Amino acid sequence: MEAAMVEAAAIEAPARRGRGTRRDAAAKPLGVPYILRGIPTYDVLSEENLGKIERAADRILAEVGIEFRDDPAALDHWKRAGATVEGVLVRFEPGMLREIVSSAPAVFTQHARNPANNVEIGGSAVVFSPAYGSPFVMDLDRGRRYGTLEDFRNFVRLAQASPWLHHSGGTICEPVDVPVNKRPLDMVYSHIRYSDRPFMGSITAEERAEDSIDMARILFGADFVDRNCVILGNVNVNSPLVWDGTMTRSLRAYARANQAAVIVPFILGGAMGPVTNAGAIAQSYAETLAGCALTQLERRGAPVIFGNFLSSMSLRSGSPTFGTPEPAIGSMVVGQLARRLGLPLRCAGNFSNSKLP
């Protein structure tokens, strides 16, 4: 009798676990490749005031100009396009850069290793990606410390597992235990190996950008890469009003391969730009527009993303104050300006002044 009861319990137990498993599966949120926004954008500025921002940026570009350092090929592009080039300083006629970027696509697809995870970039599509460029990591066992390659791999795995992220990102953390000359190869390989979502490549040297693209060619095939976007490169302006050769050479490498460069100035109001939001936005627009236009001079029709990183700082201590209202308002205005250009937008979220997670 006891044996029969034990046998019956053993038979019933898997059924109970099965129902629980089904309930858990039903409760688990299902991820989607990306979000399609169904609500209108929030427009902070009127068309009239957006025009004022554009005219202020045109004045910066025409009267002050932007330096393009250590990249003779970029200067040659500008000369052929009709810009005024004096040494490394380049000035642009009003409206010139907007005309050049008109050849960039308003919407494009970044292909993933798993086609079910392809993302649409631009238009009403919204793509969430992990944070970028953290020098430190923190966990409950070892606290705050420099990142390692194993940390990097774990973050890629977490991005793959999360139903709320659509992209595995780029430099999620800096793996300082790997030599610098080898580090980009390990990071790109980790994205390829531990995730089947879209990813970003290296931009810290032209050769590293080309290595990243070559790895993508191995994964997707050279012909496919030439016809489709499979990798992004996040390049930064050396604000105020300077493009370094490291960035422009990497930018051009991505554009040349028909891959998308993400053009991002880094402005802290009162340090690398005006203290007012309007002035900082005008400077950011000028810097970003110049980078976007350079991609089109390298390869007409190459995808490019109009990025921004506007924030403020304490003029007493000099420390960044990311959690203030100005960055959020600035991002919304830059979004309006990007839509006027017909370009996809990159912005940052979850700004915080918190000193602890």
Query: What is the residue-level pLDDT of the chain in tens, covering all 357 positions?
Result: 434 433 433 434 444 455 544 545 455 556 789 999 999 999 999 999 999 999 999 999 999 999 999 999 999 999 999 999 999 999 999 999 999 999 999 999 999 999 999 999 999 999 999 999 999 999 999 999 999 999 999 999 999 999 999 999 999 999 999 999 999 999 999 999 999 999 999 999 999 999 999 999 999 999 999 999 999 999 999 999 999 999 999 999 999 999 999 999 999 999 999 999 999 999 999 999 999 999 999 999 999 999 999 888 888 898 888 878 888 899 999 999 999 999 999 998 877 767 676
| Amino acid at the residue 276 | T
State the Rg of the chain over Cα: 23
Tokens found for residue 145 = 């410390």
Taking the C-alpha atoms of residue 335 and residue 329, their distance in angstroms, rounded to an integer, is 10
* Superfamily in which the 36-346 domain is placed by CATH: Trimethylamine methyltransferase-like (3.20.20.480)
pTM for this predicted structure:
0.90
Q: What is the predicted pLDDT for the residue at 311?
A: 87
Q: pLDDT tens across 271-323, in order?
A: 999 999 999 999 999 999 999 999 999 999 999 999 999 888 888 898 888 87
Residues 29 and 163: beta-carbon distance below 8 Å: yes
**Helix, strand or coil, per DSSP, at residue 292:** helix
What separation in angstroms does the CA of 39 have from each of 108, 124, 164?
21, 9, 19
Q: pLDDT tens across 191-220, in order?
A: 999 999 999 999 999 999 999 999 999 999
Domain boundaries, the chain: 36-346
Q: What is the predicted pLDDT for the residue at 10?
A: 40
For 294-312, b where at least 16 C-beta lie within 10 A, e where not — what string? bbbbbbeebbbbbbbbbbb
Q: CB-based burial of residue 25 (10 Å sphere; 0-12 exposed, 13-18 middle, 19+ buried)?
A: exposed
